[in-house]
Amino acid sequence: MNFALAGNPNCGKTTLFNALTGSTAHVGNWPGVTVDKREGTYKKLEQKVQIVDLPGIYSLSPYTPEEVISRNYILDEHPDCVINIVDATNLERNLYLTTQILEIDVPVVVALNMADALEKSGDRVDVKALEEKIGVPVVSISALKGQGIDELMQRAYAAAQRPREGRTVLQDSALAHLIRDVQIALAGQNVASPLFHAVKLVEGDELETKAHASTVKMVEAFKKTFTDDTFGDDFEALVADARYGYISKNFASALHKKNTQALTKSDKADRVLTNRWGGIPIFLAILFAIFHLTFSENFLFLNGFGDGWMPTLEDLGMDTGNFGVQLLACVYDGTVYSPGVIINNLWNNVIVGNLFGLLSGAVENIGVDWVVGFINNGIIEGLAAVLSFLPQILVLFLFFSILEDSGYMARVAFILDRIFGKFGLSGRAFMPMIMGFGCSIPAMINTRTLADQKERTATVRVIPFFSCGAKLPILTAIAGAIVVQFGVGNADFITFGMYVLGVATAIVAVLVMRNTTMRGEVPPFIMELPAYHLPQFKSLMIHLWDKCKHFIKKAFTIILASTIVIWFISHFSFDWKFLADEQINESILASIGMFVQPLFTPLGFGAQLQNWGWVFVVAAVTGLIAKENVIATFGVLAACIIGSALPEDEEGISYVVAMIDATGITVPALIAFIAFNMTTIPCFAAVATARAELPSKKSFNWTLLFWLVTSYIVAAAVYTVGSWWWTIFLWLAAAVLISLGIVWFNRRKKAV
C-alpha cells in the first residue's frame, strides 16, 4: 500500500513523515524545505505501508518544478490514500488545497496537525463538525508530539479499502453546471478523475490545457454562455473566489477562536525583529553573537580589549603538567574561552591530541623511514587537521539550527526581500542561500522553489558564497593562526567578517546579474511567516548527528584519499625518485604549484612568497575536491616544512602557523586566501549539483568562469586594500563606474 502526504508548505509533512517512518529527513521552520519526494515505510498496520513525503503546495495548479512533482504524484501514481495535512492554526488557507484534493477520485484523510499549538493558543476546532462537512475522515494530530498518529493511520487504512469519487465545493449553480458538462465529456473519454480535470480545464490551468488540447475548444464554447459580473471571464479567479467563499461559509465555522483581537506573541516579537530599521542590525548582532560564542578566545571581552589583564595558569604558579590543570586550561588560561572554544580545547587537547600522539608514537616503531613518514604525515596529520575542527563546526550548526527551527531565518528572508526586492532579488531566493550556510548541495536543489529560471540560475551561482561547514576549518585555522602569530584581532571578529563578506559578495553578484545577463521579473514574495516556536531538542540533535556523521565519513573517505595522493606527489619527483621531506621542493606537487603560483601574485599568495609559497596555491586546488582538504593539505606538508614534530595542541592552527613562518605571508594575504577559497569554484560535489540544476551546459560553463573571476576580484580587493588602504578608492571608483555603466546601458535599452 502507498499513502501520500500532501499539504501546504510548512504544515508539518516532513515531521509526520519522520514520525511515521522513523527517518530523519530535514525539517525546517520555513516553507520549501522539501523539494523532492521522499519515501519510507510505516510498519504498525496489518500490512506495510509505503509513505511518500511530497513537497509543499498551496494549490494543485503548480508554478514551480517542485510543485509539479506533488501534483503529478497524486494524480498519476494512484496512491491508495492521500493524507492531506492541514495546519490547524491556519485552517482557512490550508483548506484551499483540501478542496482541490477532494475533487480527485482518491481516498482522502485530513490530518489536522499542530493540535498542540492550537491548544496553546486557546483556539479549538470542532473535528466532528468539520468531518461531517468535508465528507472524509478528519483526525486531530500533533506530528511533533506524536499524538493521534496511530489513529490517523488506522483511519487512512480503512479509507484506502474502498474507492472514493471526487466531490467539489463549487456549488454555485452556473459554474457547477459548466463543470458538470466538461466532466461528462471527459468521463466519456475515459479520463481518470474527470471532475478534477474538468475544474482545472475551466480554470484554464496551463498543464491541463496542454494535456487535454482536444477538449479545450469545447470548454471555450461552454464558457461563452457564461459571464460573471465581478470576474468577467477570468475563470481562475472566479473558481478561487468560489472556493474561499465556500470555505469561510461552511468549514471555518468549525474553528472556535478564543480571542481575535490580541496580538500573538509571534506578532509582538516580529514588531522588533522584522522592524524596518532594526531588522538588519539585529540580524548582524545575532550573527556576531553566534560567532562570538563559537570562536572567541576572550569571552564577553572579560579580558579587556587591548592587552589582557588576566594571569595565565602558569603565572598563578600552577603545574601545567597536572591533568586537572590541563582540563582547567581548556576553560581558562590567561583569558576566559567561549563555549565553542572550550569544547574544541577539550576535544583537541584531551582526546584528539593524545590519541593521535599515541598513534604516531606507535608508528615510529616501524622503523622504515618512508613508511613512518607516509602514515604519520600522509594519513594522521591530514586527518587530525580536519577532525580538530569538528566540535566548533557542530557548535556553529547548533546555533544555525536553532535560528532555523525557531522560525527566525524565515524573517531574515523577509527583511532582505524588503530591501533587495526592488533590485531584482526576491526573499524567496534567500531561503536556499541561507541553507547554503550548511551545505551548498541541498541549497542548490532547493532553488527549485523559484519560479523564474533566471533568478534560479543567479541564485545557484552565489550559493557557494554562503560559507558552508566544510569551509569552516579554513576560516578557523587561518583566523586562529593570525591571532597566534600576529596578535591582531580576535578569531571571532575575523570569522564573522568573512561570513559577512561572503554574504555581501553574493548580494552584489546577484544584483549585477539580475541587472545585466539574468534580467527578469521578480515574482512577488508571498510566503507567509511561520509562527515562532521553541526549537525541538530532538530535531536539533538529529540535525547535528547528521552533520557529524557526514563530516566523519568524508574525513575517512574523500579527504583521506586526497591527503594520501598529496603525500605521494609531494614525495616523488617527475622521474619517480622518492624524495626525503627536505627535498619536497623538487616534487611533482611543488613543480606544478610553482608553475601556477605567479598567477596569484595580485592576491598576495603568489610570487612574493618565499620558497614554500606554492603550498597555498596547491591547497586551494585540493579544495576543489573537498574544502576540508585545504587545511588537510597544510597538515600533510607541514612536517616537511618545519622538519620536526609539530606542537601537539590546536592541530589545524599550528599547521597554518608553520606556513606563515615558512613563507612570510602577510595578514592581508591570508585573509585574501580565505576570501579566495570562499568564493571560488566550490567542491566537486557542489559543482556536479550545479551542473544538474542549471538549465544548460552553456550556463554551467559561464558559472565556472563566474566563480573564478569573482574569487579573483574579491581576493585581489581584500589583499590590495588590506596592504595599501588607499587602494580602496580605486576599487570604489571602479565599482561606481561599472554601476553607472550598467544603469546607463539599461536606460538606453529601455528607451530602444
Which residues contribute to the site for ligand GDP (CB under 6 A)? Answer: 7, 9-15, 27-29, 33-34, 56, 113-114, 116-117, 142-144, 405, 533, 536
In the three-class reduction of DSSP (H, G, I as helix; E, B as strand; rest coil), residue 186 is classed as: helix
Contacts of 456 (CB under 8 A, 6+ apart): 447, 448, 450, 693
User: What's the min distance (Å) between Cβ of 23 and ligand GDP?
Assistant: 11
User: What's the min distance (Å) between Cβ of 141 and ligand GDP?
Assistant: 7
Tell how strand 255-256 and strand 124-125 pair up. antiparallel
Tell how strand 49-53 and strand 81-87 pair up. unpaired
- By CB under 5 A, which span of 9-17, 178-186, 557-565, 631-639 interacts with Mg ion? 9-17
Would you say the C-alpha torsion 281, 283, 288, 293 has a positive or negative sign?
Answer: positive
Q: Name which of 15 and 338 has its Cβ closer to Mg ion.
A: 15
The footprint of Mg ion on this chain (CB under 5 A) covers a number of residues equal to 3
What, of Mg ion, ligand GDP, none, does residue 680 touch, CB below 5 to 8 Å by kind? none
What, of Mg ion, ligand GDP, none, does residue 287 touch, CB below 5 to 8 Å by kind? none
User: What's the min distance (Å) between Cβ of 320 and ligand GDP?
Assistant: 46
Indicate left, alpha or beta for 427 from its phi (over 0: left) and psi (-120 to 50: alpha): alpha
Q: Name which of 187 and 540 has its Cβ closer to ligand GDP.
A: 540
Question: Rounded distance, CA 83 to CA 703, Å?
Answer: 41
What is the H or E stretch that residue 393 is in? helix 390-406
Q: Name which of 33 and 630 has its Cβ closer to Mg ion.
A: 33
User: What's the min distance (Å) between Cβ of 502 and Mg ion?
Assistant: 27
The DSSP 8-state label assigned to residue 683 in this structure reads -
Q: Name which of 34 and 100 has its Cβ closer to Mg ion.
A: 34
What, of Mg ion, ligand GDP, none, does residue 130 touch, CB below 5 to 8 Å by kind? none
Q: Name which of 376 and 406 has its Cβ closer to ligand GDP.
A: 406
Rg for the chain, CA atoms, rounded: 30
Would you say the C-alpha torsion 532, 538, 542, 545 has a positive or negative sign?
Answer: positive
Please list the residues that pair with 122 across neighbouring strands: none
Q: Name which of 6 and 91 has its Cβ closer to Mg ion.
A: 6
Q: From the centroid of its chain, how far is CA 98? A: 30
Q: Name which of 89 and 183 has its Cβ closer to Mg ion.
A: 89
Instruction: Look at residues 554, 270, 547 and name the one whose alpha carbon lies nearest to residue 401.
Output: 547
Q: Name which of 59 and 250 has its Cβ closer to ligand GDP.
A: 59
What, of Mg ion, ligand GDP, none, does residue 11 touch, CB below 5 to 8 Å by kind? ligand GDP
What, of ligand GDP, Mg ion, none, does residue 193 touch, CB below 5 to 8 Å by kind? none
Q: Name which of 53 and 203 has its Cβ closer to Mg ion.
A: 53
User: What's the min distance (Å) between Cβ of 542 and ligand GDP?
Assistant: 11
* Identity of residue 667: V
Q: Name which of 29 and 703 has its Cβ closer to ligand GDP.
A: 29
Q: Name which of 9 and 593 has its Cβ closer to ligand GDP.
A: 9
What, of ligand GDP, Mg ion, none, does residue 116 touch, CB below 5 to 8 Å by kind? ligand GDP
What, of ligand GDP, Mg ion, none, does residue 131 touch, CB below 5 to 8 Å by kind? none
Q: Can residue 446 be called a binding residue for Mg ion (CB under 5 A)? A: no
User: What's the min distance (Å) between Cβ of 539 and ligand GDP?
Assistant: 6
Q: Name which of 14 and 113 has its Cβ closer to Mg ion.
A: 14
User: What's the min distance (Å) between Cβ of 25 and Mg ion?
Assistant: 7
User: What's the min distance (Å) between Cβ of 90 and ligand GDP?
Assistant: 11
Question: Rounded distance, CA 629 to CA 260, Å?
Answer: 56
Among all residues, whose Cβ is closest to ligand GDP?
A: 12
Instruction: Look at residues 688, 680, 738 and name the one whose alpha carbon lies nearest to residue 709.
Output: 680
Q: What phi and psi values does residue 118 have, to the nearest 5 degrees?
A: -60, -45
What, of Mg ion, ligand GDP, none, does residue 114 touch, CB below 5 to 8 Å by kind? ligand GDP
132-to-111, 218, 256, 257, 687 alpha-carbon distances in Å: 14, 36, 16, 20, 52
**CA angle (201, 207, 208) in 5-degree steps:** 25
User: What's the min distance (Å) between Cβ of 54 and Mg ion?
Assistant: 9
In the three-class reduction of DSSP (H, G, I as helix; E, B as strand; rest coil), residue 507 is classed as: helix
User: What's the min distance (Å) between Cβ of 143 and ligand GDP?
Assistant: 4
Q: Which long-range contacts (CB under 8 A, 24 or more apart) does 667-670 make?
A: 667/482, 667/486, 667/488, 667/722, 668/604, 668/718, 668/719, 668/720, 668/721, 668/722, 668/723, 669/603, 669/604, 669/605, 669/608, 669/609, 669/719, 669/722, 669/723, 670/478, 670/481, 670/482, 670/604
Three-class secondary structure assignment of 538-592: HHHHHHHHHHHHHHHHHHHHHHHHHHHHHHHHHHECCCCCECCHHHHHHCHHHHH
Q: Name which of 33 and 102 has its Cβ closer to Mg ion.
A: 33
What, of ligand GDP, Mg ion, none, does residue 424 touch, CB below 5 to 8 Å by kind? none
Q: CB of 29 within 8 A of CB of 410?
A: yes
Instruction: Look at residues 198, 193, 187, 242 and name the one whose alpha carbon lies nearest to residue 72.
Output: 193
User: What's the min distance (Å) between Cβ of 38 and Mg ion?
Assistant: 8
Q: Name which of 499 and 532 has its Cβ closer to ligand GDP.
A: 532
What, of ligand GDP, Mg ion, none, does residue 144 touch, CB below 5 to 8 Å by kind? ligand GDP
- Residue 677's CB is within 10 A of a number of other CB atoms, namely 25
Q: Under rule CB under 5 A, which residues in 24-53 are in contact with Mg ion? A: 33-34
Instruction: Look at residues 591, 585, 632 and name the one whose alpha carbon lies nearest to residue 611.
Output: 585
User: What's the min distance (Å) between Cβ of 58 and ligand GDP?
Assistant: 12
Q: Name which of 16 and 219 has its Cβ closer to ligand GDP.
A: 16
Question: Rounded distance, CA 269 to CA 251, Å?
Answer: 30
Q: Can residue 14 be called a binding residue for Mg ion (CB under 5 A)? A: yes
User: What's the min distance (Å) between Cβ of 400 and Mg ion?
Assistant: 18
Question: Rounded distance, CA 85 to CA 114, Å?
Answer: 10
- Residue 327 in grid coordinates: 582540563
Question: Rounded distance, CA 126 to CA 140, Å?
Answer: 10
* Torsion angle of the four alpha carbons 626, 632, 637, 641, in this order, in degrees rounded to the nearest 10: 130
User: What's the min distance (Å) between Cβ of 397 and ligand GDP?
Assistant: 16
User: What's the min distance (Å) between Cβ of 128 and ligand GDP?
Assistant: 20
Q: Name which of 143 and 686 has its Cβ closer to ligand GDP.
A: 143
- By CB under 5 A, which span of 6-14, 118-126, 260-268, 293-301 interacts with Mg ion? 6-14
What, of ligand GDP, Mg ion, none, does residue 133 touch, CB below 5 to 8 Å by kind? none
User: What's the min distance (Å) between Cβ of 435 and Mg ion?
Assistant: 13
Q: Which spans of this chain sit near Mg ion (rule: CB under 5 A)?
A: 14, 33-34
